Amino acid sequence: MDGLSPRTPSRSTNRIDRSMHDIRAIRDDSKAFDAALARRGLPPVADEILALDARRRECLTALQEAQNRRNEASRQIGAAKARGDDAGAQALIEEIATLKGRLQEAEDEARRLEDELNSRLAGLPNLPLEDVPLGEDESANQLVREVGERPRFDFAPKQHFELGEALGLMDFETAAKLSGARFVILKGALARLERALAQFMLDLQTQEHGYTEIQPPLLVRDDVMFGTGQLPKFAEDQFAATAGTHNERDRWWLIPTAEVPLTNLVRESILDEADLPIRVTAYTPCFRAEAGAAGRDTRGMIRQHQFTKVELVSITTPEQSGAELERMTGCAEEVLKRLGLAYRVMMLSTGDLGFSARKTYDIEVWLPGQDQYREISSCSVCGDFQARRMNARYRPAEGKGTRFVHTLNGSGLAVGRTLVAVLENCQNADGSITVPDVLRPYMGGLEVIGGYG
């Protein structure tokens, strides 16, 4: 069973219950909530949120009381008329008319307060787990392990774009004519090598690690991007697309990662615990505006507007998610092990965590041309943060009610960056590239790419 069989749709319409943070937990321990945000370097907000929540609840109480009075007055009209009290009946009719106006005002105010509260909560990141190292930025990330030996060369190793351009198989100039900066055209054996890497990754994850391959849409709607945390806070990092009317209501978004459609496969659903964990993977193009990347990695394939990636996503119970993070990270690492590439695993600090993550491991591959490690995968556990935004729940095998699932995502791997790593680590003095053994079956037995005397 792949865990993707028909599911019971959720009928929950309580928007506050679906907020990205548990408002009840904030009410119960506001200091703990502020303390968790402080670990991310953010100021306290619990008092502001609870004040909004209190006003909303007071408004809802007043609305319910007014509705009860209107219903009671409606019942009293008939009784007044039955006893011939026309004046009393008329007074009740006038009271109902007045209540109708007040009810509309109260409903509008309750909706406004709810929208304000949800908007405030939507801008707050996930809360880091206790074992995440405290720090302001990536300088506080902690080394978890270092694996493999860095290659040694008897010549000065070149960067991937130097190798690719010299081979005549990597063209940034023509790509810029077509699309602008941060695009590339791969040709011949390099185009096939990128495809071979993706096929190898998919085969490994589906045949040995139990992931179900998915071919998802590349265009998704606003609420799907909201579900995984890209909207509303990071809209400038995304590529929006509109239908022929160019009406915002007809807007879609090009996916920045397959995490978005894969995680949202369970949105607005109630799963059975027996179906968990769900593990899915997809090979897709990804599109990112790189709005904050001016001046960074302007040459080469490290930071592109369009790139390909094999994504891993898991949907679990809360009790499974910690172990699933370790498992997922191991599944991504196995790709590098079989390619024979040296890498290290870093635990991100609180200041370097992504918006939706509670804990993240970055896998960084060694690039001899750059003489440094560079990120090739991030594996994150998000707890119930995304599940609340998507309203994704499961029905426990024991006990009543439903619980929010936990979601995890990771690159298994970024295909373009893996191509970069293969080029730089497997280069030869003559500029040729030795094809790793595990990729040769996907390359028609080809052992070496090119060479230029």
Last residue of one domain, picked from the residues 69, 93, 122 = 122
Last residue of one domain, picked from the residues 74, 98, 122 = 122
156 and 44 within one domain: no
Catalytic residue chosen out of the listed positions 303, 338, 344, 403: 303
CA distance 417 to 377: 9
Catalytic residue chosen out of the listed positions 378, 380, 411, 432: 378
Catalytic residue chosen out of the listed positions 40, 279, 288, 389: 288
For every one of its 453 residues, what pLDDT tens digit does the chain have, with 9 covering 90 and above?
Answer: 354 543 443 333 344 444 579 999 999 999 999 999 999 999 999 999 999 999 999 999 988 888 888 788 787 887 777 787 778 777 878 777 887 878 888 888 999 999 999 899 999 999 999 999 999 999 999 999 999 999 999 999 999 999 999 999 999 999 999 999 999 999 999 999 999 999 999 999 999 999 999 999 999 999 999 999 999 889 999 999 987 656 666 689 999 999 999 999 999 999 999 999 999 999 999 999 975 556 676 789 999 999 999 999 999 999 999 999 999 999 999 999 999 999 999 999 999 999 999 999 999 999 999 999 999 999 999 999 999 999 999 999 998 899 999 999 999 999 999 999 999 999 999 999 999 999 999 999 999 999 543
Flag whether 6 is in a domain.
Answer: no
Catalytic residue chosen out of the listed positions 95, 146, 290, 375: 375
The reported pLDDT for the residue numbered 447 is 97
415 and 305 within one domain: yes
CA distance 198 to 310: 7
293 and 145 within one domain: yes
Contact indicator for 379, 409 with CB cutoff of 8 Å: yes
The reported pLDDT for the residue numbered 13 is 35
Q: Render the burial of 113-140: b for 16+ CB within 10 Å, e for the rest.
A: bbeebbebbbebbbbbbeebbebeeeeb
Q: What is the CATH number of the domain that holds 236?
A: 3.30.930.10
Instruction: Pull the structure tokens for residue 331.
Output: 């599944």
For the full predicted model, state whether its pTM sits above 0.85: yes
The reported pLDDT for the residue numbered 48 is 95
CA 271, 276, 277, 278 torsion-angle sign: negative
Instruction: Pull the structure tokens for residue 116.
Output: 């304000």
The reported pLDDT for the residue numbered 224 is 96
Flag whether 270 is in a domain.
Answer: yes
234 and 107 within one domain: no
183 and 102 within one domain: no
Last residue of one domain, picked from the residues 57, 88, 122 = 122
Instruction: Pull the structure tokens for residue 151.
Output: 């290659």
419 and 283 within one domain: yes
182 and 101 within one domain: no
In 289-370 the beta strands, taken as DSSP E runs, fall at: 306-316, 343-347, 359-367
146 and 99 within one domain: no
Residue 222: give the domain boundaries: 138-449
Flag whether 9 is in a domain.
Answer: no
Flag whether 131 is in a domain.
Answer: no
Query: Is 417 assigned a catalytic role?
Result: yes
Give the number of domains in the chain. Answer: 2
Sequence-separated contacts (24+) of 177-185 with Cβ below 8 Å: 179/305, 179/306, 180/305, 181/298, 182/290, 182/298, 182/303, 182/304, 182/305, 183/304, 183/305, 183/306, 184/301, 184/304
160 and 115 within one domain: no
The reported pLDDT for the residue numbered 16 is 44
Contact indicator for 160, 422 with CB cutoff of 8 Å: no
The helix/strand/coil state of 404 is strand
CA distance 290 to 296: 10
156 and 116 within one domain: no
313 and 384 within one domain: yes
Q: What is the CATH number of the domain that holds 30?
A: 1.10.287.40
Query: Is 303 assigned a catalytic role?
Result: yes
Flag whether 303 is in a domain.
Answer: yes
63 and 147 within one domain: no
Please, which residues bridge with residue 286 across strands? 307
Catalytic residue chosen out of the listed positions 18, 40, 393, 417: 417
Flag whether 250 is in a domain.
Answer: yes
Flag whether 399 is in a domain.
Answer: yes
The reported pLDDT for the residue numbered 67 is 85
CA distance 97 to 77: 13
Flag whether 1 is in a domain.
Answer: no
The reported pLDDT for the residue numbered 291 is 59
Query: Is 288 assigned a catalytic role?
Result: yes
